[in-house]
A = this chain, B = another copy of it.
């Protein structure tokens, strides 16, 4: 059954663990996210890199390493599987049919008329004060036709719930300081937004210059500093 390009009445959303068959859609969704953020110049992901970094052999247990989740929408109810992390019924009866013009490009590899509409990437982080792992949510993305229907909340709630259930002490993510709608939404979900912390990043040539710098005398390091 091909994915429909319009949904009406009801739709069933499932957030599920991804596998290597989802790599092409994950790649396309990351590119859409880069376009949305006007950051396509930083986009360097390939199918091969995604497959080898997100779906290595053997695959670590979910949420113990890099973890990719897929949001599939189905025109008919589907029972939860072992891969299901969250689900939600969407009531579309009050609105005109939902048009998803890209649906033909995003058939879910799970079939059954499902269309892939979003993804989550998360991985464990660590709190030294708690001496416990937490979960960092790197990305939550929903394709445009499916936004503003509570799916972001479902995805973040489901991931947070799973993290809490496996004993993680925190769930963390980032937001832009000018995105007051998002800040209000996250605070409404119970999150604290830290105003004073800033993220520092070494990357590219600025990172590569540290190769081989692990050992050296004080004098060598000071000389190196002057040369930069």
Residues of A bordering B, CB below 8 Å: 15, 30, 33-34, 39, 42-46, 49-50, 53-54, 65-66, 80, 84-91, 121, 123-134, 136, 138-139, 150, 153-154, 157-158, 160-165, 169-178, 183, 186, 189-203, 206-219, 221, 228
Closest to A217 in B: B89
- Contact flag A154-B221 (CB < 8 Å), given A39-B129, A126-B66, A191-B206: yes
Interface of A is mostly: mixed
A221-B88 in contact given A193-B200, A211-B164 (Cβ < 8 Å): yes
B160 near A210 with CB under 8 A, answer yes
Say whether B213 contacts A131, CB under 8 Å. no
**30 pairs of residues in contact across A and B, judged by CB atoms under 8 Å:** A30-B131, A34-B129, A39-B129, A42-B129, A44-B130, A45-B128, A49-B132, A53-B132, A65-B65, A66-B133, A86-B214, A88-B218, A88-B221, A160-B213, A161-B214, A164-B207, A164-B210, A164-B211, A165-B212, A170-B202, A171-B202, A175-B200, A176-B196, A177-B197, A186-B200, A190-B209, A193-B198, A193-B200, A194-B200, A194-B201
